[in-house]
Amino acid sequence: MSEYLISINIQKLDGGGYLATSESIQGLVAQGRTIAETMEIAQDVARKLIESYIEHGDPLPGRLLPSTKMIKNIKIPISVMV
């Protein structure tokens, strides 16, 4: 199993929810109710796109980065019920 790191952009939608896109993988679009849900859906979409590249013998996008053992400066969303 291989692991890759991709960059995603998440924007808040006017009607509610969030939209994720990526410059790393063309065609990656994911929408969710929360940032965490949107990130999870984006991971699933990215996985399916990468698997499709591999299954069809297509080269992987050049912006995919192989995962390393240490990843620094990651921001994660934390939902708090108050």
Annotated domain spans of the chain: 4-63
Round to whole Å and give the CA distance between 45 and 82: 32
Kindly state the percentage of the chain with pLDDT values over 70: 95
Q: What is the pLDDT of residue 1?
A: 75
Are 31 and 40 a contacting pair, CB within 8 Å? no
The pTM (predicted TM-score) of the whole model is 0.81
Domain 4-63 fold is Double Stranded RNA Binding Domain (3.30.160)
